[in-house]
Amino acid sequence: MSKFNQERLLQVLVAPQISEKATMIADKNEQVVFVVIPDATKPEIKAAVELLFKVKVASVQTATQKGKVKRFGRFTGRRSDVKKAFVCLEPGQEINFAEGSAA
């Protein structure tokens, strides 16, 4: 883990992706979905998740979601591209985002 810059690893993960699809993937495949910075690499994402959440990561898959073209009146704009990381955890490992929230 020492081959990566500690400050860089703390910036790699932007936010967890919490949606119906992400919850379904988490239940079915033991995967967690994160939004990451666009130039993050798979080894960096793995190291960042292991550092921040103290879990063992089996594999990482990434996907870049292209930004949609949106209109504001007569002006067209474009949302930014978003890179997502699908992190597969080792058996028995778990990341729970609902712990700190008040239901």
Q: What average pLDDT does this structure show over 29-42? A: 91
Gyration radius of the chain over CA positions = 16
* Domain locations along the chain: 6-89
Whether CATH 3.30.70.330 fits 6-89: yes
30 vs 87: CA distance, rounded Å = 9
Q: Is the pLDDT of residue 100 over 60?
A: no
51-90 pLDDT tens trace: 888 889 999 999 999 999 999 999 999 999 999 999 998 8
